[in-house]
Amino acid sequence: MGLMMEQLSASKSFGGFHKRFRHNSQSLDCEMIFAIYLPPQAEKTGAKLPVLYWLSGLTCTDENFMQKAAALRVAAELGLIIVAPDTSPRGDKVPDDENGAWDFGKGAGFYLNASEQPWAQHYRMYDYVTKELPALIEANFPVSDKRGISGHSMGGHGALICALKNPGRYQSLSAFAPIANPSNCPWGEKAFSKYLGSNRETWRQWDACELLKTAKERLPILVDQGAADSFLAEQLKPEALKAAAEAAGLPLNLRLQEGYDHSYYFIASFIEDHLRHHAAVLSQ
């Protein structure tokens, strides 16, 4: 069950293939689309390649990273499979923000498991990203048991919490401009209060700065943040992440990149560093 997929497209790129698939998600109770890049090494008989899961940010789908990040050439060189899920459940039966807000509801799943109505039935992106989707990938594609996770903005938050909550599941971790302390910023407070309820104690398990306090694993974390990012001070809080990592004695390489904003121009500028950061661990 859950292994049936419909291929929507296949495009050759740098000797490999970018493909999109649709499937019925049990954890989200709706149809979902994901993208996968299979580098040329995936064609070799018996090949088992490491896989990097990329979590995108607010308003994005599976398409943004694959089209804009300029990641596929380097992934082809490194023999790295990349999987990009959507950012929230989709479809007519899935509830959305009643005012059509871009920072909540569809396109803004925040990679958590909602507990409040009407969100709890469908908004379970954490289960989807950490359990259901990897099981689907591992049953259908030539991936090894070496997994990395990365993401941007809301997806950077997702990558951090998925790795911190699952010691041993991911061998490598990075993020671009993550929402590092969602319990203490407008985007996170809005999403958490609706998805999780008003009790801030329950928010702690979905906040990277809180999770770092009790982290059981010492994964080296690479984080790039644009210094000219308009969301830097109010929403992203990289200084809180740095302080939490230092207090816990955990290895965080936080790089502030002068002049860069929050866009995919920024991501494309540093994605090669991140892919090599992951491959150095995952290819061992």
Residues serving a catalytic function are 153, 229, 262
3-state secondary structure of 40: helix
Planar angle of CA 211, 215, 217, nearest 5 degrees? 140
Count of C-beta atoms within a 10 Å radius of residue 8: 11
Cβ neighbours for 37, distance < 8 A, ≥ 6 positions apart: 13, 16, 17, 18, 19, 66, 71, 72, 75, 81, 82
Contact, 42 vs 16, CB < 8 A?
yes
Residue 144's nearest CA partner among 49, 238, 229 is: 49
- Contacts for 92 with CB less than 8 Å, ≥ 6 apart: none
| Cα–Cα dist 50/8, whole Å | 23
What is the number of H-type helices and E-type strands within the chain? Answer: 9, 9
Q: 3-class DSSP state for residue 153?
A: coil
> 230 in helix, strand or coil?
coil
Residue position matching structure tokens 């910023």: 185
- Is residue 249 within 8 A of residue 216, CB to CB? The reply is no
C-alpha to C-alpha distance for 281 and 162, rounded to whole angstroms: 18
Query: What is the number of other CB atoms lying within 10 angstroms of the CB of residue 87?
Result: 28
